[in-house]
Structures are given as structure tokens and as C-alpha cells.
Amino acid sequence: QNIQKTNEINIYSQRHYAVDELQYENFTKMTGIQVNVTKANADELLQRMKIEGSSSPADLFITVDVGKLWQAGDMGLLQKIKDETITAGINSEFLDPNNYWIPLTYRSRIVVYSKERVDVNDLSTYEDLANEKWKNRLLIRSSSNSYNQALMSSLIANIGSDVAEDWSTKIVSNLAREPKGNDRDQVKAIASGQGDIAVVNSYYIGLLLSSEKEEELKAGNSVGVFFPNQAENQRGAHINVSGIALTKNAPNKDNAIKLISFLTSESAQQTYVDNTYEYSVNSNIEPNEIVKNWGDFKKDKLDLNMLGVKRNEAIRIFDKTGWK
Amino acid sequence: MFLKINNLEKFYKKDRPLIKSLDFNVNKGEIVSFIGESGSGKTTFLRCLAGLDEINDGSIELNGKILNDSKTFVESHERKIGFVFQDYPLFPHLNVIDNITFNLNSKLNGKLDNVLGLTGLKDLTRSFPHELSGGEQQRVSIARAIIRDPDLLLLDEPFSNLDSNIKLQIKNEIYSIIKNAGITTILVTHDVKESFAIADKILIFKAGVLQQYDEPFNIYCKPSNCYCAKVLGELNLLVINGKKYYLRPENINIVNSSEYKGIVEKSSFVGKEFQISANFFDEKWTLFSNNSFKEGCELSVSFKDEDLIKFDSNCENYFTQPIDRK
Amino acid sequence: MFLKINNLEKFYKKDRPLIKSLDFNVNKGEIVSFIGESGSGKTTFLRCLAGLDEINDGSIELNGKILNDSKTFVESHERKIGFVFQDYPLFPHLNVIDNITFNLNSKLNGKLDNVLGLTGLKDLTRSFPHELSGGEQQRVSIARAIIRDPDLLLLDEPFSNLDSNIKLQIKNEIYSIIKNAGITTILVTHDVKESFAIADKILIFKAGVLQQYDEPFNIYCKPSNCYCAKVLGELNLLVINGKKYYLRPENINIVNSSEYKGIVEKSSFVGKEFQISANFFDEKWTLFSNNSFKEGCELSVSFKDEDLIKFDSNCENYFTQPIDRK
Amino acid sequence: MEVKLFKIKKPNYGLLTVVFLSTLIIFPIISLIFGSIGVDISNFLYLSEYLLLDYTISTIYLLSLTLVFSFLFGVIPAWLISTSRFKGRRIYDLLLYLPLAIPTYIMAFSYGDILSFSGPFQSFVREFIPSLTKVVNQDYLQIEILAVLLSFSLYPYLYAACRISFSLIGNNYINLSKNLGLNEINTFLRVGIPLSRPAIFSSIFLISMEVLNEYGAVSYFGVNTYTSGIFRAWGSMADMDTASLLAIVLFLVVCLFFSLEKWLTSKFKYSFKSNTDLSTYYKNSNKKLIYTHISCITIILAAFIIPILYMTNNIFIDFKNIDFFDVYVLSKNTVFVSLASSILIVLVVLLIQYLKRISKSKILNFTGETISLTYALPGAVIGISLILLFSPINDYFGFLLIGSVPVLIYAYFIRYMAVGVSPIVSSFKKHPKKLDDSGKSLGLKPFQFFRKIFFPLNKNAIIIAFCICFVDIMKDLPLTLILRPFNFDTLATQTYEYAIEEMITKSSIYSITIVTFGVILLSILSVNQSKK
Ligand SMILES: Nc1ncnc2c1ncn2[C@@H]1O[C@H](COP(=O)(O)OP(=O)(O)OP(=O)(O)O)[C@@H](O)[C@H]1O
Ligand SMILES: Nc1ncnc2c1ncn2[C@@H]1O[C@H](COP(=O)(O)OP(=O)(O)OP(=O)(O)O)[C@@H](O)[C@H]1O
Ligand SMILES: [Mg+2]
Ligand SMILES: [Mg+2]
């Protein structure tokens, strides 16, 4: 039985892209270790791990929102990973200061604008979106979306909760329509003229621009990509990472570490960027062609754990200011 | 003529016509009793009148308006015909009151009380159908039909589950309601007594054909064929010189001795007198007597010649084809 | 004693007992006719016998085996009791044959033919219940019960939808089947004639209480109270010197003149004779005559003193509490 | 009267079985309720202060609209198809069930896409009728449209139950109503609908619960329902206790409605009268025929054909990327668990309803009803409560129950019980008790009873219950997501994973496979049905 154990890893994952399976296959091919995955929502997985406690079969926990990784650590479900060979290849700005998790990819929450109706020079920072000039022109999805929650958390951490609350109020009053739809729909809404600018995740633009549907391509092409807060002395665009963490009672710890180092290896990182429109956490890996066209950008240096720490406060601000 | 039935034909399977050619008229306010064997098509006929079935030929005319012929079919809900169904269906989700007043919205408090009283349902107004006895359900069904003053009232075995007491009471009340309001009524019943008691006319129906349609007394005294005679009461067959004669039981007197002798087969008390089955000339006779006779006894009887009933040859049975009565 | 009912009590609502304390026995092979008003609990009683309802107190014993008492309840399907329901429900997914032979697997071809013949269903064997007339459905229901030789046969208004012809035939056949096989039978009917014709004993039931249980002739001649007397036939009230006497219509003779005079209210032909309603001493009387009388006519009658019926005071009405008959 | 202490009957195995089964079913709820005693309610208070009123109002609005539309799409065609005979009736009958196979969120995402700026509708107008471009260029993500879309995929619950119920009303009551002066429309309103109350109530219950538990479509349309509250508490505030508390409150409210309805109708009966004709009732006028065709075709087109065409188109677009082997594996998984669970559900529902029917026991009656109530809990909450229930066993025996197929089936069994109950109860309530009495007096033993009366009489309903359960379980998400074994995907999870990542195109092959199974199943069974 022991032998069997050493030959597998159990993953609870929130990520469910085809590329993940590809990575696991490659890993199994390389090491002969069987990878078992259960994919579900992060909250349910967290709850499950918590209830299962020491008898949990999970070795690794993967999310697309660093906030949940922080939460897992906070709940005492994780153990630290201190492995130089892994962290060496990773751009240190994405690393967890507490070593509870390892980043795999990252993406930015950016502003897109109608190429027809918006002068790109009018765009500057997230804070600026609260400006009167965007009244009835701004599009963004609902506050129950974790990307927005992460964005708000970053704002609280960076500019303080009072200012953030004020910002939120103004954002709400600038909205062209009630928050709804997904990120792509915000872009389509710009295309159809319901609003002029929108806040979306970077890789959705990539998805649109690579779409097989002509009309989607058109929609994607009608907007321009803008990374906010890029100016000198500004903090940079908000980013969020998709990361992996080792559970507290991981039954197959050694295999798990192997997988982590595999996923952070340059070849695996290359696989990520080849198949998705995310950015690699390894500075040596260039992003996908479409993404590269948007150019390099300055990233917010905030401790990513803050996206989890400030989560609750962010939600209360949303609620208070009526951001649906 | 209030209700005119012309050459009505009806079948479920084309080769087996149920009603061959029915032709009769009813005057306004008349009560016609429709008598026929089980399965002869009485209910089917009422269904046609009520517009629940279409007739296959002929016409139905009510109050000068054609209800159904080859071109017209007035929908049931436009006919204003009261129907007490043979199996007295009640809506299972409505209580007695709601069943009775179903689809009536006018104020009818007085009338309702009246109807409830006459059908003896006053204590059961809030009961649901499954909590009612068979007779109670039937009474609700009657109440529901008569409360709405129909143009034509169809009663299909309306009293089959009522005890004699309440039957008598309801029968009398319905009779007076019908007569007062001048509601034309067709009553299907198996109980010839009932027909005699309230019908203005009796229609005897057999083998898809109207056999006789007349006032009770006339039918009893001048039955148009043997079948009609039998329907209204028992008939004993007597063959004299190869000719067939019939005798009603009540016209037979038991005497000490006579040329007519028979053997008692059974004698049973039927209340007020004994009914005696006896074998006369190899025919089974029924007669009545105030005394009981033992099985096997010899019995002598006498009768008056004028009480002998005779039919000409085509009336010895029943008509199988519609006869022209015009 | 084949069937023993001891102190049976039954209610739907505790404060309104339907059957207060029923106590009677039936011998093997006897036919008991159960007579009671609509809604008096006849069907309920049969349901208890059949095991479809539980009794609230007392016991039911069949053939020496307790079927139901405070400790025991034999399930319906273990009782082998034939039940012809008042509304003759048939299984909608089965045709006539399958309904009749439902849950019978033994070969019974001869018997089946026999039963089909007697109920006149030979032509309808492949019909489904909804394609049958009311009477035909009822006959299927009867056939279904008698084909399985039950220990106890319960007939709840089994003939209500049959015409007199087929009724007579079935009644006679059932009678001989029952008598040959010695099947104990309880027959609920509203038609006292029927009871007289086939019942060995009649049970009169009213207000939750057994009023009288005896042979037909005895009940007719020695009714235990006024109610029983009335059930079996009409009764005319006569008050002589402040004392109440009753007279049966058939014991009244119309004479040319006498001290008893009344006014005719209605006279109607009931087949074989006229039924006359007349007003005597402010009471409504019924009598029979061979002639019709006009409304308003004066009528003189005579009767024999020995035909006067008298009840002691507690029998003037009906019993409201069970009486001890032991 | 003596007090009856001992009634020597056979031990009531039926009762024991039902109590056992229903305990099995409601155990998770009970554990949830006990688990929520004494939890920290500050988040709960916070939510009720800021959001619940708002959420409740939009929930009620969405729910009412959805029910109205479902009623239109479900009940009216059910009546038309049950009470008239016309050409094409059978095919409509089949097609009208099918939208059930399209998950609500797929319906919402598909229409969201179809109606969006880049969708075929707007593109078409821009291309060919430019003058209308302004008119059609709207924001279609509105709560009213959401309600229509939800009812597109939910009305089949109503359709199924009403179809059963309407076809069992019996000529007898229809004739009565005609005779009492009601035309067809009034008969429908005043006889058809009241006599189908149990069917309508149980399917309204199902639809309401689906709407209440719907998250994907609802959040896509930016509508915040009560469930958003639950997930906000859980997902965003990381407070599972508050989430369960909210779920329990919802559960209790539903229980209240449920009991109210049961209490109100405790005296009512809905059965047809025995010996009645159950078929054909109404003649078709030409006008009515046209109306019938138009309404059926419109519904089928909007709720089924259009989404299917959309998905098919997606498949063609993405054809080269489709991994058919994967589709095959997922289909195998899906069919296996759905089949096992729906058979289990139908058997248990039948057993319970049947025992309820032949016994007079009050307890049985009560438990028979309560088992549907599990549907009132969000799937994810049930999932968690099961994990809660089974993890001690994991600990104790050292093997994994959670994340095994049996537990997954058990979870489906709990959750989808109500889906199976609805058609079967609708049918059972329609059959007169008199038939049971006849059967008993003809000496039927309990099992024979089932075989000879209940099964043949309720066959249609059983078939439909099975189909609906099967299709519903095929679509299940929350339970599958959290309880499935490692590396175990179903068509639904795969559909969802793509859809949620805004890759509708890729998800289409999986959702259309779900639909295909639904079509195959329904067709086989409807052919089987028509043999009768
Ligand atoms: N839907 C049907 N399809 C075929 N045959 C039918 C249908 N309905 C009735 N019948 C047959 O037509 C005949 C007449 O039926 P109907 O109900 O009119 O008889 P009825 O005179 O009312 O008899 P009863 O006195 O027994 O009620 C019966 O023999 C019956 O079997
Ligand atoms: N389930 C029930 N709940 C409450 N009351 C009931 C129920 N069933 C019957 N009753 C009442 O009990 C009484 C007796 O009913 P039952 O059916 O035994 O009468 P019955 O003597 O057979 O009458 P009928 O001759 O009219 O059929 C009726 O008044 C009826 O209203
Ligand atoms: Mg009839
Ligand atoms: Mg009765």
C-alpha cells in the first residue's frame, strides 16, 4: 500500500482548464506519478478540507485567486514550502512572504476602452475611474465576482478603506448599467455602445481576440487595452495569481513537491502561456503573442496576501456603497 | 312542440347502431319517462340531448332551435340543460355547497336553502364528496341540477340509491318544482312504479327502436306489443287452441277448482301479499294471493275472458325496425 | 353462528357515532337484508366487515375467527369476503374479463361462462369499463364478486342500475348460487320488495341502532316499532279515542258508505291498480283501488278491527338506544 | 371505551421502512440544523441588515415572473395536448419535455450570447436591416428576460406533472363542467387547474427551488437572489455557518408553505371517478388548432430549437478541438451515476408513495411528504452536510467514503427525491381510493397490489418521473463538484467549467450530449408508451 501511496498525488483544484490536464499528463509521463484531481469551487474545497481535517486525502490545493490561498493558510490548512529550487525561477514579487503558497501564473485586471469614443489619454488610474467624466460610461461586473473583490482588497490595502469606500460610491454612480454579465460581456457592451470603458481581466481579451467567431473578434478589436496606474510614482496595475499550496497533512508530500517544482519549471510555464492568455510567473517566459502585443506593464507590488486579508472589508464596502 | 327528436341515429360502432331512428316530441312542461333495458342506449340518448355526444343522423330541436343536426352542433355549455348523471359525479375538491352552486354567481340564498332542505343535505353542507354516502352524493347531484332552472331536465336513474322515504319526498318535490316551473323533463328509470307515479308519458325503447310512446294508462291497457306489456308488469302466457293470449297476474283469481290447474313452485311474501310462481301448462306463471302455498300444491285459477290480452302476429315480440306512426 | 357482530361501534367523528352498538348473528348460508335510510351507515358497516375500515369498539367474528376487535385486525385481503360496492368501481386498465377474473389464477372456464351468461355480459367481454353502460358496469361488479365463492358476500345496492328484467334474472340466479354454495350474504338495498324476495332475515337499522332483526313475514306482521312497520309498507294513522292505531293500505276497503270518510287528493295509476292519496281525519292516507277517483271526491272506507296495528308507547317511534334483546 | 394499548397486527414493516428511508433522506438536514445551533450570527445580522431585504425582493420578483412564464409555457400546452387530438400532437408532446435537458445556466449563457452585440441576432439585424440596429441594440441582461429564460428550462416540470394530471381528469368531470355551462377555457381554469392542484403545487415547488438555488444564470444577469446571500456569506465572507443558517431559514420558510398547502388541502381529493373514460374530450375548432400549433411551436422553438442550433453551430466552429474520447468517457460516467440514482429514486418514491397509499398511518403520511423537502436546500449545502456526516466515518475506518461513487449517488438520491416525487404523486392522487378498496376486497396482497394495480395505473408517471430524474441528475453540478471521486468528470461539470470561464463554444459539445441523452431516453420511453 505504501508503494501505491508514493505513486500518486491528490489535488483539490479550482482551476479547470484543458491546459492543467495537459500539465498533469506530462508530469505523469515524466515521473510515473498518478495525479488525481477533484475540481470544485474554492470555498467548497476549503470547507471540505476543513471538515476532513487530518484524514483529508488532499495533498495540494490550487486556486485562481490568491485570496483563497491566503484564506487556506489562515484556516491552518497549509504547510509552508521552503524549497529554493522551486522559488528560484519565480519572479520574487509574486512569492508569498509566508511561504504558504507558490504562484503558477498571474493576470492583471485592466481597463479596456472604446477605440471610437474614448481618448486613451483620458485614462490613467483605477482611482480615476471614479471621476465624473466617466458618468454613465463605466462597465464592470458584479461585486460577488472574486476578481472584483480582489481589486477592491488591493485598493483598501493601498489607499485605505475610507478612500476606497468613497471610490466605490463614485464608481457605482458612474456605472452605465447595473453590474451584470461576465467580463466578455463588458467588452461586448462597449462594442454595442452601452458604455465606453470597462474593467476586465486581461486574458479574456486574449480569448476574444483569438475567437473563431467573426463577430467576437470584431468586438475584441473595437476596444483598446489599458494598464492603469503605470505612471511614475504610481503603484502599477492590479494583479492576481493562480497558485498552488501544500496541505497541512499531505499524505504524499514528496510527490506533491515534485509536482510543484514541475509546474513552476520553465517548460511547464511555457505550456501555460502557450495555451492560455495568462502571464507566467517566471520572468524568462514570454507571454502569448496576442498578450505580448499589449506591451509590458508595471505591476502592483502589494503583498498578494492582502487580497485575502482585506477581503471581508472589501465586501462590506461593496454592500455599503450599493455595488450589486 | 318543445323538444323534437327527428330520426335520431346514434352508434359507437357503425355496424351496430344503438339508436336506429328515434322520432318523438315532448311538449313543454311534460315529464317523459324513458324505459329501456340495461345497455339499450338510454344514457347515450341523454348524452346526445345534453350535447356531450354528437348524433350520427337526424336532428334534435329544443324550443324551436336546432341543437344538433348534420350541420349544426350547439356546444353543451350553451344548451342550459340540467343533467343528473347516472353515476352522480361530484367535483372531489369542492364541498357540498360549492358543488351545488358551481358556476352560479347570482344570489340564491333562499333557493339554496330550499333545495338543501328538500334533499336533506342541510347538515352536510361542508362535507366533501368522499365523506358522503352513495345516496347523499346522488342527492347533491339532484340538487345541483334543479337549482339552476334548466330548459330541459335529464334525470338518469336519479333515485337509484335513495331509500323509499327520501325517494318519495324528493320525487314529490321534484314533481312539483318541475310542474310549477314548467320544466320539460326526461326521466330514465328502471322502476316502472316511478314512471307511473310522475310521468306524463312513457317511452318504451328496445333494440334501438321506440316501441311505444304514450300515457301510462294507455300503455298499460293498450300495449302496442308484447314487450311493452311485459315491461309494465308481469304477463302470463296462455295458449288456447294454438293462439297466444296473455294474462296479468292481478286478473287471476285463485278458486277452489276450475279447468285451469297448476303446480306451485315457490311462494314468497312480498309484503301485503304472497307472490306465487306456479307452473301452468308448462309456462311459468306469476300470481298473487293473500295466503302462502306450499311447493308442489295444486292450484286452480279462474279469470275473465275480457282480461285476456291478445297481440297480432307482428306484436308478439317487439319491433326491430322503426314503425311509421304518422 | 357463522357471522357474529358484537357491540360493534363505529364513528367518523367521535361525538357522532354512526353505529352505536350493533349486535347480531347470521347463520351459515343465510341471506340478511340490511335496510336503513340513506346515510345511516350501511356502507360503513359493510366496509368494516370487509376490513376496509376498522371498527371503534366491539368485535366481528366470522366462522369462529375474530376478524376485528380491540386487539385484532385481520387485513382485508386475508378475509375472503366478496364485496359488490355501491358505485361498482372497476379497474380502468382491464377489460371486462380481466376485471372479473382479477387475481384469480385457477382455470375457471366453465364457471366464467356461467357467470358471464347470467349477468348478460357475453358480448362485452373485451370492453373496457368506460365503454360500458351503468348497468353493465354493475353487472361486471356482481360477476366479479360471485365468481370467487367468498365466505361472506356483501352486496351494497347491487341492482340499483338494472332494469327489472335482468334484475329479476340475476336476483334469482344469485339466490340459487348463494343457496347452493351456502354463502352467507348481507344485502343492502332500498327496495323492500327485493328484501322480501330473497332475504331470509331482514335487519332494520336506524339512528345507529338495530331496530328489528327477524324474518320478513314476522317483521311485516309484528313490527317492533312504528318505524319498522313503515319501512315495509305504507301505514295510515288512525286515532280512536285518543289512541293511535295504524292501518295498512291493503287492509282498507272502499265501500259505498261508512263512518270513515275522506277526501281524495290524488289518484295515480301504478300499474294493475290506482294508488289513492286521501285525507282522513286530517291525516294523509294511502289506499289502493281498481278505479280512479277524481280529486275532491268523498270516499268511504271500511276495515276489520283485527287489522288495526297498535304499538306501546316506546315503540311509537323508533329506538334511539340499543335495546337488550337477550 | 377501553384503551387500546396493544394492537396485535403484523409488525408494520412498511412503516419501519419508510421511517428508515426518510431518516436517511432528511438526516443531513437534521445534522445541519443541529450544527447551526449556537453559531456566531454577527455575519447573519450584517447580511440581514444590508442585503437580505433587497435580495428577498428581487428573489420574489424573479420567482413570480418565472412562475408566470412557466405556467404559460407548461400548463397551457399540457392542457391542449391532453385534451385534444390533432396531427403532430405526439411529436409536440415529446419536444415539450426536452428543454429540461438544457441546464439553466447554459440557457442563460446561450441566450446571453445569442442576443449580445456579437450574437447572430444583432449581427443579422446590423447586416440586413440596418434601420433597426438602434432598436435591437439593447442590454438584454434584464431580470424579466432572465425569468423567461429560466422558465424555458424549468417549465417542463410543470408540463410533465400537468400532463399526467390533465390526462387523468376523466371525461366525467369534463362533461359535468360542460353541462354546468363552462366552455373550454373556463373548464380549464375552474376544473382542470383546481383538480390538478397537487401536480401544480409540486411542480411549482420544484421550479421555485430551482430558481432559488440557481446561481450561475442569476449572477450572470446581475440579479441578486437569496442564494446570492448564501454564497456571499460563504464564498466571500468565508463563513460557512452563516451560509447554513441562511439555508436553514429558507428551508423553514419552504416548510411553512409546504405545511400550509398540506393543511389547506387535507380534505380535498383530486381523483377521477372510477369507470370513467379518460381520453379525448374536446373538439378542435380551426381557430383553436391554429392557436395550439402556434403556441406549441413557439415554445419549442424558443426553449429548445434555438439553443440547440446555437450549440450545434458552436460545435461546428470548434469541431477540430473536440476530444471525442473525452466526451465518451464523460458520457459513460454521467449515464452511470444518473441511471443508478434515478432508478434508486424512482424505486424509493414508489415504495413510499405506495406504502403511504395502502396504509392509514399518520406518521407515514407525514414522512411521505417531508422527503421532498430536501430540494429546498442548495446542492452545495447538502454536499457540505454530507461531508460533515461522512468524515467521522472516514476518520474512524480509515477509508474514503467522501469522494466515492456511492456517496455521490446517495447525495443525488437525497437531493433529487423531490423531482421523482412530483410526477408520481400527481398520478397517485388521481386514482380513486375506491380502486384500492376493490383490490383489497378481491384479496390482493400488498405486493400483488403494486404489481397489478399501482404499476399499470401509474406506469406513465413512473416513466416520466424516471426520465426527469435522469435528466436532472445528468445536469447536476454542485453535488457532483464537491462530492465526486478524483478524476471523475461528468458532462455537466465539464460544461460548467468551460461555461464559467466564458468558453461557451467549447462547452457546447458537452451540453448537447446531455440533451442528446435526454432526447434518446424520452423517445424510447415515449415509443414504449404509445404502444399501449
Ligand atoms: N364509449 C363507448 N364505446 C363503445 N360502446 C359504448 C360506449 N359507451 C357505451 N357503449 C355501449 O353502448 C350501449 C349503451 O350504453 P348506455 O350507457 O347508453 O346504456 P343505458 O341504456 O344507459 O344502460 P344502463 O341502464 O345500464 O345505464 C352499451 O351496451 C355500452 O356497452
Ligand atoms: N370518510 C368519511 N368521513 C366523514 N363522514 C363520513 C365518511 N364517510 C361517510 N360519512 C358519513 O357517514 C354517514 C354514513 O355513510 P354510509 O356511506 O355508511 O351511508 P349509507 O347508509 O351507505 O347511505 P346510502 O344508502 O346513501 O349509501 C353519512 O352521513 C356520511 O356523510
Ligand atoms: Mg345508463
Ligand atoms: Mg351506501
The Cα A162–Cα A156 span in angstroms is 8
Length of chain B: 326
Q: Which of B87, B121, B124, B136 to mutate to test the pocket of ligand 2 (most atoms within 8 A of CB)?
A: B136
Dump pLDDT digits (tens) for A22-66. 899 999 998 888 898 988 888 888 888 888 888 888 899 999 889
Q: Is the pLDDT of residue D1 over 50?
A: no
Q: Which of A255, A235, A256 is nearest to A244 (CA)?
A: A256
Closest atom of ligand 1 relative to the C136 alpha carbon: 26
- Torsional sign, CA B257, B262, B266, B271: negative
Average pLDDT for residues B70-95, to the nearest whole number? 91
Q: Whose CA is nearest to atom 29 of ligand 2?
A: C39
For residues C37 and C162, state if they share a domain. Answer: yes
Question: Which residue puts its alpha carbon closest to atom 2 of ligand 2?
Answer: B131
Beta-carbon separation of A48 and D116 below 8 A: no
Q: Do C248 and C195 fall into the same domain?
A: no
Q: Do the two chains C and B touch, given a threshold of 8 Å on CB pairs and at least 3 pairs? A: yes
CA distance readout (Å), A129 to A162, A235, D529: 17, 16, 62
Q: Is pLDDT of C227 > 90?
A: no
Measured in Å, residue C18 CA sits from the centre of ligand 2 at 8
What is the least distance, in Å, from the CA of D197 to any CA of chain B?
9
State the nearest Cα–Cα gap between A231 and chain D, in angstroms.
31
Mutate which of B10, B16, B44 for ligand 1? The one with the most ligand atoms within 8 Å of its CB, which is B44
Q: What is the pLDDT of residue D199?
A: 92
Rounded to whole angstroms, how far apart are CA atoms D19 and C223? 55
pLDDT at A116: 87
From CA D207, how far away is CA D100, in angstroms rounded?
11
> Which residues, at least 6 apart from A188, have a Cβ–Cβ distance to it below 8 Å?
A219, D116, D117, D118
- Based on the domain organization, do B273 and B304 belong to the same domain? yes
Chain D residue with minimal CA distance to A18?
Answer: D498
Same domain, B243 and B221: no
Of A45, A38, A41, A4, nearest to A24 (Cα)? A38
Q: Is residue B99 a part of any domain in this protein? A: no
Inform me whether the C-beta atom of residue B85 falls under 8 Å from chain D C-beta atoms: yes
- How many angstroms separate the CA atoms of D75 and D69, rounded? 10
The pLDDT value recorded for residue D2 is 38
**Atom 3 in ligand 1: residue holding the nearest Cα:** C131
Interchain pair D435, C132: CB under 8 A: no
Find the closest chain D residue to C147 by CA distance.
D442
Judge whether residue D87 has pLDDT over 60: yes
Q: How far is B195 from chain C (nearest CA, A)?
A: 8
Q: pLDDT tens digits, residue range D290-320?
A: 999 999 999 999 999 999 999 999 899 888 8
Q: What is the pLDDT of residue C41?
A: 92
Q: Which residues surround ligand 4, an ion (CB under 5 A)?
A: B 133-134; C 43, 86
Question: Cβ of B130 under 8 Å from any chain D Cβ?
Answer: yes
Determine the number of helices (DSSP H) and then strands (DSSP E) in chain C: 8, 17
Q: Is B58 part of any domain?
A: yes
The segment with the largest mean pLDDT, out of A44-48, B52-56, D322-326, is B52-56
Q: Residue D299: what pLDDT?
A: 94
- Which range among B289-293, C309-313, D183-187 shows the weakest confidence by mean pLDDT? C309-313
Same domain, yes or no, for C182 and C244?
no
Burial degree of A204 (CB within 10 A; 0-12, 13-18, 19+) = buried
Residue A92 has pLDDT above 70, yes or no: yes
CA–CA separation, A279 and A91 (whole Å): 12
pLDDT bin (cut points 50, 70, 90) of residue D394 is low
Least confident piece of the model among A309-313, B59-63, D235-239, D265-269 = D235-239
For residue C95, the chain D residues in CB contact (below 8 A) are: none
Question: Does B268 sit within 8 Å of C250, measured CB to CB?
Answer: no
Q: Is the pLDDT of residue D158 over 60?
A: yes
C-alpha distances (whole Å) from C25 to each of C2, C32, C155, C157 are 7, 10, 17, 21
Q: Which atom of ligand 1 is nearest to the CA of B13?
A: 4
B51 CB under 6 A from ligand 1?
no
Q: Tell me what the pLDDT averaged over chain D comes to.
A: 85
Q: Does B294 touch chain C (CB under 8 A)?
A: no
Confidence of residue D499 (pLDDT cuts 50, 70, 90): confident
Q: Structurally, how many domains does chain B consist of?
A: 2
Cα-to-centroid distance, C140 and ligand 4 (Å)? 19
- With a 6 Å cutoff on the Cβ, whether B41 touches ligand 1 is yes
Chain B partners within 8 Å of D195 (Cβ): 91-93
Q: What is the chain A residue with the closest CA to D319?
A: A212
B12, B39, B166 ranked by CB distance to C38: nearest: B166
C137 Cα nearest atom in ligand 1: 26
Specify the ligand 1 atom closest to the Cα of C134: 27
The pLDDT-based confidence of B326 (bands split at 50, 70, 90) is very low
State yes or no: pLDDT of D530 exceeds 80. Answer: no
Indicate if the pLDDT at residue C318 is higher than 80: no
Full domain range(s) for residue C303: 235-317
Segment C54-83, tens digit of pLDDT: 899 999 999 889 999 888 888 888 888 999
Same domain, B268 and B202: no
Residue contact C248–B192, C-beta within 8 A: no
Residue in the block written with cell 432508478 = D343
- In this structure, what is the dihedral angle of CA atoms D193, D198, D201, D202, given to the nearest 10 degrees? -140
- The domain boundary, picked from C193, C226, C259, lies at C226
Answer whether residue C66 is part of any domain: yes
Tell me which residue in D438, D443, D448 faces C85 most closely, judged by beta carbons. D438
- Ligand 1 mean position to C135 CA, how many Å? 9
How do residues A230-275 score in pLDDT, each as one tens digit?
888 888 899 999 999 999 888 888 889 889 989 988 888 898 888 8
Contact call for D278 and C91, based on CB within 8 A: no
DSSP one-letter code for C131: G
CA distance, residue B64 to nearest chain C CA (Å): 31
Local structure of residue D376 (DSSP, 8 states): G
Q: Note whether A208 and A219 are within 8 A (CB).
A: yes
**ipTM for the complex shown:** 0.88
Cell numbers linked to A138: 463605466
Collapsing DSSP to helix, strand or coil, B318 comes out as: coil
Q: What number is the average pLDDT over the span A182-199?
A: 88
Rounded distance from Cα C85 to ligand 3 centre (Å): 17
Statement: residue C163 has pLDDT above 80 = yes
Q: What is the pLDDT of residues D425-463, one digit of tens each?
A: 889 989 998 888 888 888 888 788 888 888 988 988 999
Indicate if ligand 2 lies below 6 Å from the C-beta of C41: yes
Domain end position, chosen among B195, B226, B257:
B226
Same domain, residue pair B239 and B312: yes
User: Best of D169, D436, D441, D445 to disrupt the C interface by mutation (most C CBs within 10 Å)?
Assistant: D441
pLDDT at C324 (0 to 100): 62
Average pLDDT over residues D8-22: 71
* Candidates D179, D195, D275; nearest CB to B83: D179
Do B155 and B76 fall within a single domain?
Answer: yes
Tell me, what's the pLDDT at B143? 92
End-to-end Cα distance, chain C = 16
CATH number at residue C43: 3.40.50.300
Q: Within a domain: residue C90?
A: no
Q: Does some domain include residue C122?
A: no
Judge contact between D245 and D47, C-beta under 8 A.
no
Q: What is the pLDDT of residue A1?
A: 35
Whole-angstrom CA distances from D77 to B250, D100, D148, D295 are 65, 15, 16, 7
Residue in chain D nearest B126 by alpha carbon: D267
Question: Do residue B203 and residue B269 come from a single domain?
Answer: no
Give the E-state strand segments of chain C in sequence order: 3-13, 16-26, 31-36, 57-62, 65-68, 81-84, 152-156, 184-188, 201-206, 209-214, 236-240, 243-247, 253-255, 260-269, 274-280, 283-289, 298-302
| Identity of residue C135 | G
* Reduced 3-state DSSP string for A176-199: CCCCCCCHHHHHHHHHCCCCCEEE
Of D525, D526, D498, nearest in space to D513 by CA: D498
Residues in C 92-111 with any Cβ partner in D closer than 8 A: 92-93, 102-103
Spacing, Cα C188 to ligand 4 middle (Å) = 8
Pair (C175, C310) in one structural domain: no
Which ligand lies nearest the alpha carbon of C19?
Answer: 2
Q: Is the pLDDT of residue B245 over 70?
A: yes
Considering the domain boundaries, does residue C92 fall inside one? no
Angle at B33 between CA B27 and CA B38, to 5 degrees: 140
Q: CA D113 from chain center: how many Å? A: 25
Indicate whether B167 and B294 sit together in one domain. no
Q: Do chains A and D touch (3 or more CB pairs under 8 A)?
A: yes
Comparing alpha-carbon positions, the chain A residue that sits nearest to D488 is: A38
- Give the chains touching A; criterion: ≥3 Cβ pairs < 8 Å: D
B123: left (phi over 0), alpha (psi -120 to 50) or beta: alpha
Q: Chain D interface, mutation test: which of B72, B75, B77, most D Cβ atoms within 10 Å? A: B77
Find the CATH number of the domain harbouring B297. Answer: 2.40.50.140
Q: How many CB atoms lie within 10 A of CB C173?
A: 17
Which of C191, C209, C226 finishes a domain?
C226
Q: Is B44 in the pocket of ligand 1 (CB under 6 A)?
A: yes
Name the residue among A251, A259, A252, A184 with its Cα closest to residue A222: A184
Q: Taking all residues of chain C, what is their mean pLDDT, rounded to a whole number?
A: 87
**What mean pLDDT, rounded, does chain B reach?**
88
Q: How far is the CA of B14 from the centre of ligand 1 (A)?
A: 14
pLDDT tens, residue by residue, D197-208: 999 999 999 999
Distance CA C249, CA C245 (A): 13
State the greatest distance between any 2 C-alpha atoms of chain C, in Å, as a whole number.
Answer: 71
B125 lines ligand 2 (CB under 6 A): no
D433 CB within 8 Å of a chain B CB:
yes
Residue D244 in grid coordinates: 447554513
Asked whether residue B168 is domain-assigned, the answer is yes
* pLDDT at site D473: 92
Residue B319 has pLDDT above 80, yes or no: no
Q: Does C192 touch chain D (CB under 8 A)?
A: no
* Residues B168, B298 within the same domain: no
User: Cα dihedral sign for A14, A18, A23, A29?
Assistant: positive
